Amino acid sequence: MKYNHGYILGISFVSALGGYLFGFDFAVISGALPFLRNTFGLTSWWEGFLTGSLALGCIAGCLVAGKISDKYGRKPGLIMAAGIFALSSLGMAFSGNLLIFIVMRFSAGIGVGMASMLSPLYIAEVSPASVRGRNVAINQLTIVIGILITNLINYFIADQGGDVWRWMFGLGVVPSLLFLIGVIFLPESPRWLIKDGQNSKAEAILKKIGSKPYADQVMTDVKSSLSAGPIKVSYRDVFAKKVRPALIIGIVLAVFQQLCGINVVFNYTSTIFQAVGADLNRQLFETVAIGIVNLLFTLLAMWQVDKLGRKPLMLAGSFGLMLVYVVLALLLQEKAAALWVSIFVLAAIGLYATSLAPVTWVVISEIFPNQIRGAASSVAIVCLWLAYFILVFTFPVLAEYLGTYGPFYLYSAICLFGFVFIMVKVKETKGQTLEQLEQTFNEQ
């Protein structure tokens, strides 16, 4: 079948700008923490809670997004996410005390959580099966671009005084407004339109995406899949027996993507390199190096995800991280030179960026039935953000009691568990339509 690849890529990139917001707020805390410690006098507990408050907001955002996207469509949820993020960026910049800052960071998390669920979901629903993995990985690409640009800005403005963190957070309003403007011009998801009974609108969008035979095939397949379930969706349907195999896989992969430990490297770069004697300039430089490696290996993953497949990439990433963490822990324990620590930190980033980072989002966006995809995705991603909160909240405390190196032995063990789970439970999904995957999981 013929496809309008330019149009598909265009709407995928606009939707994926939600990932940029995720990358921005994810990275900005790493550069801002040295200044926030001085401004608010943070203890290790408050440092962990301040960092993790974004994740608590993300949990709320995912729950809201699931309801909104299934009832009103994917587009209204994306518009709301952009607006919330713009306002909360300004709120963090003008925070007068720690409580206000945490409330604003929680609010930013609501916007990030909504976008983290809806952007890959939307892209999966507008993409033909042959390029769906690559297109959903665009969301991960915008995340890492957001991380890199934010780290670069933080590095170059870090010498502007103790209140420079206000600029770091306030600049988030710029990508938020660009995202908002772009989403206004997006078409609604054709699969959601069919579910809502708006068949003529769905058919018109599908004809822009591909040929008439493609539009007819998708219309037929989606209607067939929707006929098997209720029109009104509740979270009880998400936990139904026939959905349970897909839900378990989605939840475990989402939790593993976080508890594998890599986001400690992203969020606490300064803490890790401070432990081996690096000064503030070197700490911020390492965040930039991490951003560059993250971007390069994400591009590699986009190239390979529809060729090698999802499962081989996840297996390679989890096994590789297990080994690298052991070496990294030993280097930190022996207080090795910052250069050696940097080499293995960047190796971990490269492994993660080609595997668990993009592929987890791809799989979560693929495996759930059309009828409940929004609600089911929100459950999996709520679990992801809860795991992220646990990870970033506990690291400063664990590092204080065990040493900076101690938690990396734990993350290595978790990666071994993830490797075994993926090997035994996860099936390959590349090259299959969303409706074919729904049938596959129903047969389990």
**What are the tens digits of pLDDT across the range 348-380?**
999 998 888 878 878 887 888 767 777 788 888
CA distance 360 to 391: 17
Answer whether 341's CB lies under 8 Å from 415's CB. no
pLDDT tens readout for residues 252-290: 999 999 999 998 888 788 888 988 888 878 888 888 888
Structure tokens of 272? 């890790």
Q: How far is CA 363 from CA 44, 55, 191, 359, 415, in A?
A: 35, 21, 18, 6, 18
pLDDT tens readout for residues 34-56: 888 889 988 888 988 998 898 89
Q: What is the pLDDT of residue 434?
A: 64
Phi and psi at 64, nearest 5°, equal -65, -45
CA distance 13 to 166: 29
pLDDT tens readout for residues 87-122: 999 999 999 899 999 999 999 999 988 988 888 889
Q: Which amino acid is at 253?
A: L
**In which residue are the tokens 């599908």 written?**
206
Q: Crossing angle of helices 44-71/5-40, nearest 10°?
A: 150
Q: What is the pLDDT of residue 294?
A: 87
DSSP alpha helix (H) spans, 276-372: 280-304, 310-333, 338-353, 356-366
CA distance 440 to 129: 15
Structure tokens of 103? 């409330």
Q: What is the pLDDT of residue 344?
A: 94
Q: What is the pLDDT of residue 105?
A: 93
Tens of pLDDT along the chain (444 residues) come to 678 888 888 988 898 888 888 888 878 887 888 888 889 988 888 988 998 898 899 889 988 887 888 889 999 999 999 999 999 999 999 998 999 999 999 999 999 889 888 888 898 888 887 777 778 778 878 888 988 898 888 888 888 878 889 999 999 999 999 999 999 999 999 988 998 889 999 999 999 998 888 888 889 888 887 775 555 556 677 777 777 888 899 999 999 999 999 988 887 888 889 888 888 788 888 888 888 998 898 888 777 767 777 888 899 999 999 999 999 999 999 999 989 999 999 999 999 988 888 788 788 878 887 677 777 888 888 898 899 889 988 998 899 889 999 999 999 999 999 999 999 988 877 666 666 666 655 555
Q: What is the pLDDT of residue 365?
A: 77
CA distance 231 to 252: 28
Q: What is the pLDDT of residue 186?
A: 92
User: Which of 148, 184, 153 is CA-nearest to residue 171?
Assistant: 153
Q: What residues pair up with 375 in beta bridges, in sequence order?
A: none
Q: How far is CA 298 from CA 291, 351, 354, 388, 393, in A?
A: 11, 10, 5, 20, 26
What b/e readout covers 326-365, taking b as 16+ CB neighbours within 10 angstroms? bbbbebbeeebebeebbebbbbbbbbbbbbbbbbbbbbbb
- As a whole-number percent, the residues of the chain with pLDDT over 90 amount to 34
CA distance 438 to 221: 11
Residue 89: in which H helix or E strand, if any?
A: helix 74-93
Q: Which amino acid is at 318?
A: S
Q: Crossing angle of helices 310-333/406-425, nearest 10°?
A: 160
- As a whole-number percent, the residues of the chain with pLDDT over 70 amount to 94
Domains of the chain: 5-186+228-442 (1.20.1250.20)
What b/e readout covers 289-300, taking b as 16+ CB neighbours within 10 angstroms? bbbbbbbebbee
Q: What is the pLDDT of residue 438?
A: 61
CA geometry: angle 11, 16, 21, nearest 5 deg: 140
Answer whether 56's CB lies under 8 Å from 109's CB. yes
Q: Which amino acid is at 228?
A: A
User: Which of 123, 136, 134 is CA-nearest to residue 190?
Assistant: 123
User: Which of 59, 405, 416, 110 is CA-nearest to residue 265?
Assistant: 405
Provide the mean pLDDT of the chain.
86
User: Which of 124, 365, 384, 372 is CA-nearest to residue 253?
Assistant: 384
